[in-house]
């Protein structure tokens, strides 16, 4: 098929929607800019113990160094807004919304694989790689550069009609796709997220001090509960407080069915504290929450249980 670059871009974005992505936009494969904010974040030590964040920094900032020969980045989003009455969704022992359903890494990778097969049918010399979360790719920055959404003061990408309840992935490829245009930020003079963050992890420059962030502490941090966890943690896995208060997350339609299939708080805190390693294995199999290991779950449950008693 002989398509112009504009026709190819439209065709690829349409295919992305057909295989189950909610949004698809294109970023350039070269330097998207704003990499200095990443350096600043690393320089402050705000990555905590996530040593992998300090590796491959140049590749992280330049998709065309990560995938030699890359000409474009297709930035893709799937929504996971809970829909309906979501008011009781952050009680003690809650699981953050992005991790309630099936493991989004698996769901998005499967959809990327299907999309790449479909692209290969119209572009025989298509050569691309899909990335979901774990690779050295600046997913929010690329999505913002593509115009898929804008970065809010809570540090999250906010997408029109999907809010910040989206997960992201990319296909970096040799396709000469035409980049989209960044959209204007929509925070105005709101600062609800900064006021809502109980630990002071969220700074008004949009950068997050992971060492204080309950999402990091419950999902990434190994070892004993920190002071922030003992004082403020309510969750078994992750934290949504800086997203819940965002006006852009109100009244959203329910997100992708595969990502929203579990109830808000499906484990009893007493039960979790009594779990054996086998119980943990059974409860977390096939789900994103498995990133928090057995001892982390027990620790998270113990700190969250204190909130029940308050
Ligand atoms: C490390 C990490 C974390 C750390 C640090 C988070 C942070 N804010 O830095 C911790 C463990 C705390 C964390 C928490 C969460 N995370 Co996380 N995390 C990541 C990861 C692996 C890297 C992020 C990173 O590079 N951080 C360093 C900072 C400096 O970079 P950044 O956040 O991308 O910010 C850049 C942009 O904001 C850009 N920028 C700022 N303003 C502007 C303006 C314009 C115009 C442009 C172009 C760019 C731009 O500059 C910054 C630096 O260059 C990404 C996946 C990935 N590979 O990118 C997921 C990711 C960011 N996380 C995600 C999610 C869902 C979460 C949580 C919501 C989970 C939860 N409920 O518990 C929380 C949210 C906490 C928060 N307020 O950010 C999603 C975000 C989706 C979204 N809507 O933004 C991602 C993209 C994973 C995915 N594949 O979907 N996360
Ligand atoms: S996820 Fe929770 S702890 Fe982390 S910045 Fe947001 S409100 Fe603060
Ligand atoms: S709560 Fe307000 S300041 Fe924070 S991201 Fe949403 S609109 Fe922006």
Give the model confidence (pLDDT) of 146-163 as tens digits.
Answer: 999 999 999 999 999 999
The residue extents of the domains of the chain are: 5-83+98-173, 192-252+261-309
- Is 208 close to ligand 1, i.e. is its CB under 6 Å away? yes
Closest-lying ligand to the alpha carbon of 250? Answer: 3
How far lies 231's CA from each of 69, 212, 223, in Å? 49, 11, 16
pTM: 0.97
Q: Which ligand is nearest to the CA of 191?
A: 3
Place of tokens 């997913």: 139
Q: Which of 77, 171, 179, 66 is nearest to 120 (CA)?
A: 171
Report the atom number in ligand 3 closest to the C-alpha of 191: 3
Q: What is the pLDDT of residues 215-229, one digit of tens each?
A: 999 999 999 999 999
Ligand 1 atom 41: residue of nearest CA: 151
- Whether ligand 1 lies within 6 angstroms of the CB of 38 is answered as yes
- Return the pLDDT at 299: 98
185 lines ligand 1 (CB under 6 A): no
Confidence (pLDDT) at 101: 86
What residues form DSSP beta bridges with 163?
159
The candidate with the shortest Cα–Cα distance to 104, out of 283, 310, 255, 240, is: 255
Tell me the C-alpha distance between 196 and 266, whole Å.
24
Rounded to an integer, what distance in angstroms lies between the CA atom of residue 154 and that of residue 296?
A: 25
Is the distance from the beta carbon of residue 105 to the nearest atom of ligand 1 less than 6 Å?
A: no
DSSP 190-221: --HHHHH-TTS-B-TTS-B-GGG-HHHHHHT-
User: What CATH class does 5-83+98-173 carry?
Assistant: alpha beta
The CA 194 to ligand 2 mean position distance, Å, reads 9
Residue 307 contacts residue 234 (beta carbons within 8 Å): yes
CA distances from 78 to 75, 108, 258, 279 (A): 11, 8, 10, 30
152 lines ligand 3 (CB under 6 A): yes
3-state secondary structure of 7: helix
Task: Read off the pLDDT of residues 45-55 as tens digits, 9 standing for 90 and up.
Answer: 999 999 999 99
Tell me the pLDDT tens digit for each residue of 194-204.
Answer: 999 999 999 98
- Cβ–ligand 3 contact at 193 (below 6 Å): yes
Residue in the block written with tokens 């996530």: 50
Per-residue pLDDT, 308: 80
Probe residue for ligand 2, chosen from 207, 214, 240, 303 as the CB with the greatest number of ligand atoms within 8 Å: 214
Distances (CA, A) of 212 to 17, 155, 291, 307, 308: 37, 15, 19, 18, 22
- Give catalytic residue positions: 133
């Amino acid at each position: 098929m002989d398509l112009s670059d504009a026709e190819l871009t439209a065709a690829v974005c349409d295919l992305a929607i057909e295989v189950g992505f909610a949004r698809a936009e294109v970023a350039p494969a070269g330097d998207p800019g704003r990499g200095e904010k990443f350096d600043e974040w690393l320089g402050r030590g705000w990555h905590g113990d996530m040593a992998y964040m300090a590796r491959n920094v140049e590749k992280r900032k330049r998709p065309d160094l990560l995938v030699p020969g890359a000409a474009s980045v297709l930035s893709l989003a799937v929504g996971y807004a809970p829909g309906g009455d979501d008011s009781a969704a952050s009680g003690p022992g809650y699981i953050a919304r992005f991790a309630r359903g099936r493991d989004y890494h698996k769901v998005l990778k499967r959809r990327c694989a299907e999309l790449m097969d479909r692209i290969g049918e119209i572009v025989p010399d298509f050569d691309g790689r899909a990335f979901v979360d774990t690779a050295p790719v600046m997913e929010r920055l690329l999505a913002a550069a593509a115009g898929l959404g804008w970065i809010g003061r809570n540090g999250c990408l906010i997408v029109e009609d999907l809010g910040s309840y989206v997960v992201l992935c990319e296909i970096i490829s040799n396709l000469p796709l035409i980049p989209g245009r960044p959209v204007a930020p929509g925070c105005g003079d709101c600062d609800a997220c900064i006021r809502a963050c109980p630990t002071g992890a969220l700074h008004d420059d949009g950068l997050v001090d992971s060492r204080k962030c309950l999402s990091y502490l419950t999902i990434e941090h190994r070892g004993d509960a920190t002071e922030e966890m003992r004082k403020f943690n309510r969750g078994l896995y992750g934290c949504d407080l800086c997203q819940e208060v965002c006006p852009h997350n109100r009244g959203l339609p329910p997100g992708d069915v595969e990502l929203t299939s579990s109830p808000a708080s499906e484990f009893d805190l007493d039960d979790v504290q009594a779990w054996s390693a086998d119980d943990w294995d059974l409860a977390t199999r096939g789900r994103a929450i498995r990133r928090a290991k057995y001892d982390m779950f027990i620790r998270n449950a113990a700190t969250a249980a204190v909130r029940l008693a308050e």
